[in-house]
Amino acid sequence: MAIVTAQRLVTIERHIAEQEHLHPHATGEFSRLLRDLMLAFRLIAREVSRAGLNDILGLTGTTNVYGEAVRKLDAYAHEVIVRAMEHGGHLCAMASEESDGLIALPPTRPRGKYILLFDPLDGSTNIDVNVTIGTIFSIYRRRDPALTTDATLEDVLRPGCEQVAAGYVCYGSSVTLVYSTGNGVDVFTYDPTLGEFFLTIEKLRIPRRGTHYSINEGNAKRWAPELQDYIDYLKTPSHDQHRPYSLRYVGSAVADVHRVLHYGGIFMYPADRANPSGKLRLMFEVNPLAFVTEQAGGRASNGCCRILDIRPESLRQRVPVFLGSPEDVAEAEAFLQGRHILQRLRTPEA
């Protein structure tokens, strides 16, 4: 992992400009879209850092499209991103995990060729207890860039492999932006005294295998037997000392995935008897996190197939997710499909 020395002083603006040169057909519109998005992240980071001081904690008294209580910071982050992005003229569609359907763009502004999907504040149940939370974003280019009309829901419901960029911001002990435009993953750390994101890790690569697993063990009694097998396997000491794995679970996908990208291992939110499709949303959380994971050399699966190949059926679709080190995810898939050697040895021949 190439830790960038501060001497290089590469800001996100300079990095975006340099990335633009990688795409000779780039018109600068994508760069301006990212700059607008960075402004939103700066504003959200400021509010998150002083949430306890300006009465922005707690609940709004409303619920979102999933029936979940909306917290004040959720609502603030949603509004900030919408306001920062709606006037730039770079978008033909925008959708947020916190609202239903596509967000209406101002009729007076031109339509661009990009589609933005975002989870404004993921992990928001952790807001009041000062645990890392995050913003997740996903960007597509409309299929016909010559069009100047609003995009339709069909334009938006695209497999994750068609994302042109995706990433997340971690609001934790420091504010970290992790994103990819398809040329690997770069990590930026925010300096609030300057309002700048500085490049701190270039071309982040996930270890091929880790020693941590991340899952809500409280759901264990509802898991499929094959998943039980896998988790029991991770907990069983091995002769090479590689197992048992350690359990690390924050309950904020951005924080859990950020750790997996750096240290390796596997993050899971599986289906269970109470959540037959898992809990995480494909379009707003899983596709962008899967894109970044693959760009870092990792693997992202729903247990049987590649997340980024899933053809979405609705904006609010949930999917099971297993993502992280390629060897760990492949091993999880072998268990989940009942074909791991330890399962075959135990299964009596028919």
Binding footprint of ligand P6P on the chain (CB under 6 A): 122-123, 125, 216, 251-253, 269, 279
Please report, as a single letter, which amino acid is at residue 109: R
Comparing CB distances to ligand P6P, the nearer of 171 and 269 is 269
Instruction: State in angstroms the smallest separation of the CB of 53 from ligand P6P.
Output: 24
Instruction: State in angstroms the smallest separation of the CB of 33 from ligand P6P.
Output: 25
The answer to whether 273 and 280 have CB atoms below 8 angstroms apart is: no
Instruction: State in angstroms the smallest separation of the CB of 62 from ligand P6P.
Output: 16
Give the β-pairing of 114-122 and 91-96: parallel
Comparing CB distances to ligand P6P, the nearer of 119 and 226 is 119
The answer to whether 55 and 73 have CB atoms below 8 angstroms apart is: no
The answer to whether 329 and 293 have CB atoms below 8 angstroms apart is: no
Report the half-sphere exposure of 168 (CA within 13 A, side-chain side): 31
The answer to whether 301 and 333 have CB atoms below 8 angstroms apart is: yes
SS3 state of residue 73: helix
Comparing CB distances to ligand P6P, the nearer of 123 and 303 is 123
Comparing CB distances to ligand P6P, the nearer of 91 and 136 is 136
Q: Greatest CA span in the chain, whole angstroms?
A: 69
The answer to whether 19 and 183 have CB atoms below 8 angstroms apart is: yes
Nearest to 289 by CA among 279, 303, 300: 300
Instruction: State in angstroms the smallest separation of the CB of 310 from ligand P6P.
Output: 18
Instruction: State in angstroms the smallest separation of the CB of 251 from ligand P6P.
Output: 5
Comparing CB distances to ligand P6P, the nearer of 88 and 251 is 251
Nearest to 95 by CA among 227, 282, 298, 295: 282
Comparing CB distances to ligand P6P, the nearer of 113 and 318 is 318
Instruction: State in angstroms the smallest separation of the CB of 149 from ligand P6P.
Output: 33
